[in-house]
Amino acid sequence: MSTTPLDDRAAEAERSVSVLFAGRLGRMPWTHLAQVVHPAPAPSRPFGWLRGEWHYWWQAHHLDAVVDAGLRATRCGDVAAAERHARQGDRLLLTIRLRNRGRWVNDFYDDMAWLALASGRLAALHDELGHTRTRRRLRSATRHLTAQLRSAHTDDVGGGLFWSRDRDFKNSPATGPTALHLARVGETDEARELVDWVYARLWSEDSGLVLDGIRLRDGAEVLVSDIWSYNQGTVLSALVTFGDDRSLERAAALIAAVDARLTVELDGVRVLRTHGGGDGGLFTGILARYLALAASSRRLDDGASGTARRLVLDTADALWRGRGTYPVAGRRDPSVFPTEPGGPPPAPPFELSPQLQAWTLLEAAATLR
């Protein structure tokens, strides 16, 4: 099967992020990780990489993007490339654990939920390639991460997941991806409990969107009403995964609310708005990943799936048109993508999260070829 222009765009984003950010951890062989900024500051002391800035959940989304590239290679009939990406994913998963001081466990349950989702998708890529040997590291990740996530699902505030080990905040960023992970591993009843809790406590009837969370302060519940794009994406994908009539009605309404309230007009079309840099630099890429999955679902009505498809394709096109280049010695100049659709290409130093978001968006668009 040949590639399409959408595949080629995703491949260029993959190449560019890899050139600018990917490499070994502390020069150790057989490791693979993304630095959080380019150019990266030199370590100030031996083993400085253990003391530097660490973004566990950014690396989980890096793993998701590597899996995206592997699946794209399988769609294009390039089995050898898909095999390389599967091996790269294995190295990245190993290195995430190594950089996290040899543990899967993190202080934040949302971080662990993202890695559970990404490692599950890596296992699915291996399955698609016919790798019959079960990988011990993937089994270990799933077992440990799932146990941690279940421990954070308590009756406090009526349900939902705590965000961190401080256990003073139940929120969508932890509950949404955990519900999706549990749905994917067949724990549908618990996944439904989590989504129903989100709709009971954190869904806004006024906006039709999912709010951020509920803090516990001196025994009182305090609603945090911030609206972030990624929280809509994980809940949407869990609903589509459930596939019953009520869930699909909720999914269609959520897509319509995203279109109405989480977009901006650019050159006569509606594109997804973004949330700047830092952690927010990943939020809209995550939403686009799950909008693309919804757009590919035969369960949703044509109107909802068509809206999801339009939002992904138009947003990816805007980021592609806004790209610039940055010279790197000895390499074909990588592309750098704007932080927001319609914005200018960034100037160095470049942050990983918005560039990884652009890669994620372009991979999502390529699935709709």
Give the ranges where the chain is alpha helix by DSSP (H). 5-21, 56-75, 79-99, 109-128, 136-151, 172-184, 188-201, 229-242, 245-261, 283-295, 302-321, 352-366
The Cβ of residue 222 has, within 10 Å, a number of other Cβ atoms equal to 12
Distances (CA, A) of 135 to 63, 95, 126, 187, 349: 16, 15, 9, 21, 37
pLDDT tens digits for 355-364?
Answer: 999 999 999 9
In this structure, what DSSP letter does residue 36 have?
S
Average pLDDT over residues 315-327: 98
Average pLDDT over residues 324-328: 96
d(CA 340, CA 355): 11
What pLDDT sits at residue 51? 60
Residue for token digits 């160095």? 348
pLDDT band at 46 (very low <50, low <70, confident <90, very high): very low
Computed over every residue of the chain, the mean pLDDT equals 95
The gap between the terminal CA atoms of the chain, to the nearest Å, is 12
d(CA 216, CA 206): 24
d(CA 110, CA 188): 19
- Maximum CA pair distance of the chain? 60
d(CA 164, CA 166): 5
Average pLDDT over residues 175-204: 98
What pLDDT sits at residue 44? 53
DSSP assignments along 291-325, one per residue: HHHHHT-SSS-HHHHHHHHHHHHHHHHHHHHT-EE
d(CA 252, CA 303): 8
Structural Rg of the chain based on CA atoms: 20
pLDDT tens digits for 228-249?
Answer: 999 999 999 999 999 999 999 9
What pLDDT sits at residue 41? 81
pLDDT tens digits for 206-231?
Answer: 999 999 999 999 989 999 999 999 99
d(CA 235, CA 237): 5
